[in-house]
Structure 1
């Protein structure tokens, strides 16, 4: 590539052309044509004209000499030099770079590269894409062509400003639902196999639809049609999307601009909202499709009419009735096709071919409607054999869903070239052939000045008067521009105010919800403290009882026996009477603590001290078992508690991963977080904790049925 994005062979060709005698002769003739216009317009110098007037004079002069011999000579020279330099560049690549592509592929790539560079330099030359009628556009030319035709910098600037200012406002409240539907569509739709598993395609599609939903300012969900109509723009951007990484912001902004421009410019029968205006447009479109079917595929039209004719009316059906039945049947078959612009019916390659022709005809009135009608009729014509076996409207719809993905680009090209190409190309080039005032009498095919319709010749004016008038026009234009800027600023201020009010209302709702959750947390903490207090009191009472028992045992040890040999049975009876466990506390949430059964008569080898130690060990062991049951549950309760704990742990891990995607746009590698500065770590941690806390509150609200 050479400087400024132009191929080197194209720059060399330009340099050679500008040095040729054919170019100098052409410039001389062009200068004479411009001078003739200046004389006829009573303008002394070309520099006195405004930029718009200069462009108009140049166009008229070029049109005047376009059919002359000098123009044809220069055209032949340009064609020869371009062919020569392009072939030389391809030969050099074959000799020096050893490419894997064939020579034909390299020539096509070089021509595409040159065309793209010229279109970027002169976007108004997009009308030259009309020569690609009935031909699928190459990927790089398709991306640039769609960008030029679906162009509205205001949409892109608004989206970029929102991302730079408050990215959260570009995300719909139903973003999770939109994400799920996008993933389901990409994974289940057979015609979108090229997009299945692509992370970039998924994130790009989700971002466009989420922003589109925020612009609608509605709480209702997006329609299924909105999901289908964004697919072609994702397919066009697919070469620039990674299958493993989210879509770059630049690509998403381009998709947003093209998608919004298309939604604003699509015909009413594509919108098909059920209003009377759209019904009229749908009726006109169906009539147009029916006309093509009756002319080119009469068997299909008769079959559709028969399918929708009731049995008792088949005999008395008139010609007018047949036409009405055909329109009724076509309406039911066409509506699903045209509302999605064939998305879901045609495979990706064929779908992009249909959309290519639709896009390059957007600047020609009536072409897009005619093209869609031709494609719809051609689909029915190509599936005529399959449709013959259908016996009901539902069977016809099933045939369309099953057989449309099998249609190829070459089938459409053949039918269009055979029946429609001449009329469609005439529509595209009609405005280009429209007559401009030809100022050179030697080049005019008709008598001169015919297109002025006998207008009066303007009076002669002095240069200072023209300059004054031009200054007044400039001042008026500046005043209108200033009014427009003020109106736009007022509209932006109003939008900002409304957005701020909505944010304040949302923040109030969030604050109220947080206050409620905080109150619940405080209540739960109070209950927990009370439970702890009760447990401590129970433990303290048990400890006091143990201490009392120890003291009594010590007292018994110090007492001197009154009889020479006290009965063992009397000691055991006394121990079983005094060494009973304390009563259970209500805070334990268990019906009763384990009760020590009546002790058996100890053997003659155990002393009272041994009995006390055994009792203490047994009592402490039972206390530990009781506390474990209180804390961890028992049986099925323990399993439920363990499963709930594992669920909370997994949920926290998923929230952390999701928060990393939201904040960093990717999963962090091990050690990557430690490489950040402390300030960056703190900011990222705060953002992730805010997201995790919000998700927890949302789940809590769902569980409570709020």
Structure 2
């Protein structure tokens, strides 16, 4: 069921109808008979006695025997008709139900692409069917899948992913910063890379791929400039999976690493061009191919190259090396940068992807890649001949190619390829590279069935007991593999259970620690509350004692004069009450916003003479107390404010202190709040924040006061 979900519905319906058709039954019947004929000729009793390789060979031979028969032709016609029916039904239903904006042709192409991609994902070995798309730019989804199929190397991806999981730092080069700067400079400098400018995802993808590539080399030397260019096609093909604003995901980087490193390891020698003898020989052979194509289709280009690259030396070279050597020498200097970069930087992205598409789908055909690159470079030079013929020097020709090549289109290349090279290249792609397999049905064979048998890898003949033993070994191996899978599954479940228990244990420990912390905080708060209650009770007790003491003093003062005089004889009471009163009068209460002495009502002064004896004792006591308080106030004022010049100096210092204090408060507000407080802004804050901000402001104010005091002391010294 899971496998069927990979395919579009129309393709599944088509398959069901095909398997129910009489054409399919007829083909399967003949295929079965062809296999039975092979079994009889090979003296094998059962098809299941064969190994997997033998089964595949027998199936290929049987299919080859039926390839040109009527049953195969009828089946292909039936499949074609059913695919046409179901595909059109799918598109018609989509047009009726979804009201798409695309045309019917677009929908048919999209559905066909979806079906082809699902088949390729299910059977990657069918990638050779992509040869039918030669000389056509691949649709973007098929391009991504085709590049991945031809450049697939699971071992490279596995190594990279394991390295990321175990030690991500090891996947980054020691020259990662230098690589990042070089990538950024390359994108900004190359005109054909303008679509990559400003893209965070493309930059990170190129940098991460190149950094890992350099780390694998384990060398202190820098990457070659060519390595930076060759990563660009893989990044632009993966454009649909890369965001321009965010770094690319690790999954996409792993895919790019796999494709890039696989390509780098499969490059032809003339593309690597390291200067070794083997690479020089390959480059020479490649130049000969390009020169032959130019001779055949663009002869005027060869003459231009010979003339421009070695001016004034034609006669000398003609006698020493020959005109052919002169042409190859000039051609080498002209196209060497193109081959090393695979035309990156010379073509715009669309044309470059077209060229690379054909190169990629021909990787499984020996020699095709070399032929294709020779054709492309020769075609490029031929297309640019009109602009190159005015050049008088090699530098001028290179400048024209760099400037004009990005303007070449896919259609220009397609036209030239179709005109001169399509038949040969397509035949090279679609030719059967394998040896011909024997045809078992004499009525369908063009040659006797024993023809070309010597080219086949026919499995050796085995005895029944050997085949039985091999079958038992295969069954034992299958059982062993199944047991390994069961053991691995059991271990996986046990590991998940252990991880789950460990997570639960860690969660319980965390919860217990949190409960302990809450209990500890609650106990601390309770202790603070008890301490606060104790302090409040002590303060209330002291206040009650002071109130009781004041009441006793008032009672003493309210007594008749005789009792007061008798009380004066008791020095203990008089001294105690006087000292207590003085201490309360001299020591001022804590300052508050309401403590403004200038606003207090003046205490009326009374004469200092002895009160008249006509007053009653109560009035005399009050007058004495009032006179006493007046003198105390005058003394306190004199002590606090001074007299004369001293008072003026004290006023100046007080005003200065008040000014500094006001400025410190304003400055502290700016430091703590970032702005001056508005009226009632502080009152709207919660108590905890008021306390915290007040503490911060007082610390700043105290620090500034200490600094000023230190400066004043230094000035006094």
Normalised by the size of structure 1, how large is the TM-score?
Answer: 0.66
Per-residue deviation, residues 75-102 of structure 1 (Å, max 9, x unmatched): 0111111111111111111111011111
Give the superposition deviation at 1:177: 1.6
Give the superposition deviation at 1:373: 0.6
Q: Is contact 2:11-2:86 (8 Å) kept?
A: yes
Q: Separation in 1 of the partners of 2:82 and 2:185?
A: 53
Per-residue deviation, residues 655-697 of structure 1 (Å, max 9, x unmatched): xxxxxxxxxxxxxxxxxxxxxxxxxxxxxxxxxxxxxxxxxxx
What corresponds to 1:589 in structure 2? none
Q: Is contact 1:172-1:213 (8 Å) kept?
A: yes
What corresponds to 1:181 in structure 2? 182
> SS state of the match for residue 318, structure 2?
coil
Q: Is contact 2:50-2:467 (8 Å) kept?
A: no
What corresponds to 1:68 in structure 2? 69
Give the superposition deviation at 1:381: 0.8
Q: Separation in 1 of the partners of 2:456 and 2:412?
A: 52
Q: Separation in 2 of the partners of 1:356 and 1:89?
A: 30
RMSD across aligned positions (CA) = 3.3
Pairs within 5 Å for 1:76-91:
76-91=77-92
What corresponds to 2:397 in structure 1? 396
Q: Separation in 2 of the partners of 1:284 and 1:82?
A: 46
Pairs within 5 Å for 1:257-656:
257-311=258-312, 313-314=314-315, 317=318, 321-431=322-432, 434-453=435-454, 462-468=463-469
What corresponds to 2:161 in structure 1? 160
Give the superposition deviation at 1:317: 3.4
> SS state of the match for residue 418, structure 1?
helix
What corresponds to 1:28 in structure 2? 29
Q: In 2 relative to 1, CA 468–6 (structure 1 residues): closer, same or farther, beyond 3 Å?
A: same
Q: In 2 relative to 1, CA 316–120 (structure 1 residues): closer, same or farther, beyond 3 Å?
A: closer
Q: Separation in 2 of the partners of 1:217 and 1:148?
A: 28
Q: Is contact 1:2-1:8 (8 Å) kept?
A: no
Q: Separation in 1 of the partners of 2:457 and 2:406?
A: 61
What corresponds to 1:16 in structure 2? 17
Give the superposition deviation at 1:190: 1.8
What corresponds to 1:653 in structure 2? none
Q: Separation in 2 of the partners of 1:402 and 1:13?
A: 52
> SS state of the match for residue 322, structure 2?
helix
Q: Separation in 2 of the partners of 1:201 and 1:286?
A: 34
Give the superposition deviation at 1:319: 11
> SS state of the match for residue 428, structure 2?
helix
Q: Separation in 1 of the partners of 2:149 and 2:318?
A: 50
Q: Is contact 1:187-1:197 (8 Å) kept?
A: no
Give the superposition deviation at 1:431: 2.6
Give the superposition deviation at 1:467: 3.2
Q: Separation in 1 of the partners of 2:100 and 2:477?
A: 59
Q: Separation in 1 of the partners of 2:30 and 2:260?
A: 45
> SS state of the match for residue 450, structure 1?
coil
Q: Is contact 1:345-1:400 (8 Å) kept?
A: yes
Give the superposition deviation at 1:475: 11
Q: Is contact 1:9-1:86 (8 Å) kept?
A: yes
Per-residue deviation, residues 328-359 of structure 1 (Å, max 9, x unmatched): 01101111001010111111011011111111
Q: Separation in 1 of the partners of 2:474 and 2:188?
A: 58
Query: Does 2:247 align with 1:224?
Result: no
Q: Is contact 2:54-2:459 (8 Å) kept?
A: no
What corresponds to 1:110 in structure 2? 111
Q: Separation in 2 of the partners of 1:357 and 1:455?
A: 30
Give the superposition deviation at 1:453: 3.9
Instruction: Give the unaligned 5+ runs of structure 2.
Output: 479-643, 661-717
Q: Separation in 2 of the partners of 1:608 and 1:381?
A: 107
What corresponds to 1:92 in structure 2? 93
Q: Separation in 2 of the partners of 1:143 and 1:39?
A: 46
Q: Is contact 2:354-2:410 (8 Å) kept?
A: yes
What corresponds to 1:148 in structure 2? 149
> SS state of the match for residue 158, structure 2?
helix
Pairs within 5 Å for 1:182-197:
182-197=183-198
Q: Is contact 2:435-2:455 (8 Å) kept?
A: no
Per-residue deviation, residues 390-428 of structure 1 (Å, max 9, x unmatched): 110111111110111011111111111111111111211
Give the superposition deviation at 1:457: 11
Q: In 2 relative to 1, CA 475–97 (structure 1 residues): closer, same or farther, beyond 3 Å?
A: closer
Q: How many residues align?
A: 496
Per-residue deviation, residues 17-48 of structure 1 (Å, max 9, x unmatched): 11111110110111111111111111110111
Q: Separation in 2 of the partners of 1:454 and 1:157?
A: 37
Q: Separation in 2 of the partners of 1:320 and 1:241?
A: 52
What corresponds to 1:252 in structure 2? 253
Q: In 2 relative to 1, CA 454–82 (structure 1 residues): closer, same or farther, beyond 3 Å?
A: closer
Give the superposition deviation at 1:314: 4.6
Q: Separation in 2 of the partners of 1:456 and 1:202?
A: 50
Q: In 2 relative to 1, CA 2–457 (structure 1 residues): closer, same or farther, beyond 3 Å?
A: closer
Instruction: Give the unaligned 5+ runs of structure 1.
Output: 478-604, 622-706
Normalised by the size of structure 2, how large is the TM-score?
Answer: 0.65
What corresponds to 1:202 in structure 2? 203
Q: Separation in 2 of the partners of 1:459 and 1:205?
A: 51
Give the superposition deviation at 1:465: 2.5
Q: In 2 relative to 1, CA 153–97 (structure 1 residues): closer, same or farther, beyond 3 Å?
A: same
> SS state of the match for residue 366, structure 2?
coil
> SS state of the match for residue 44, structure 1?
coil
> SS state of the match for residue 420, structure 1?
helix
What corresponds to 2:132 in structure 1? 131
